[in-house]
Chain A
């Protein structure tokens, strides 16, 4: 390896080598991040897709037969969130045992540090809506989707643009539904996002083997 030309400047070979090394590092980092970003993502998407569909169906049944003012709707979503959250943890843990690469502890802490406050905010707002009889319980799903979309936007701004677009889509569609189709908003949003997540999960699971 040559180190210096007459004027002390870097020689062309060294510059080229440095650029090649940077390119290789970027490729490896991208590949690894891609693998990590798919960590159980398929099954996790399916879990949350089912969560949306079951949640909305349960909410409708509760309002129609048991709790017309929606008092129990908040508790219903809370129970479902705990179940889906536990399912997500189990999927993540099983992948942690079997996958060939592991995410760093710091990245798990980073995700938890903004998802946990966001979910707490969600629970508070949902409980508030459920306790105020003047507010329609149909706002509950909209608020939940807005909270999740905020999380997606934060993630998207930091990591992947695809997630950013999902967050923006969630935000816009929640507001549109709240303004124009409030009575049907839970069914529209629950079906679109529930099925969307399930389909995404199935596609990701199918592609998983090629990563």
Chain B
């Protein structure tokens, strides 16, 4: 039996906040925690939990550094994340194309 298109959608991305995070990281490669928080309108805790999930899947890497003595948390997309997100986009496109 043929697998349904929506089953192929990666659940790690199939959520608005994580979709937003991955879209930003696919375009820029690297983004600061506060930038993501502001752009996606999320709280610290909420964003942290989404980032942790993506990090556990090895789709992103989280780095901490100091710039001008201020701490910065940077999120970086991995090659695995990039590939998985491309697949997710392909599947989304297939769903849209299947529209009558």
Contact = CB atoms under 8 A, between A and B. Distances in A.
**B interface SS class:** helix
Interface stretch (B25-33, B45-53, B54-62): B25-33
Nearest to B16: A24
A144 B4 CA distance: 57
A111 to B, nearest CB: 14
A31 B28 CA distance: 11
B92 A101 contact: no
Contacts of A24: 16, 19-20, 23
Nearest to A13: B6
A3 interface: yes
B39 interface: yes
B20 A15 contact: no
A103 B25 CA distance: 10
A176 interface: no
B67 to A, nearest CB: 6
Given A3-B4, A105-B29, A29 B23 contact: yes
B42 interface: no
Given A3-B6, A14-B6, A103-B28, A98 B95 contact: no
Contact of A10 (B6, B27, B28): B6
A28 B6 contact: no
Interface of B: 4-7, 14, 16, 19-20, 23-24, 26-32, 34-35, 39, 67-68, 89, 92, 95-96, 98-99
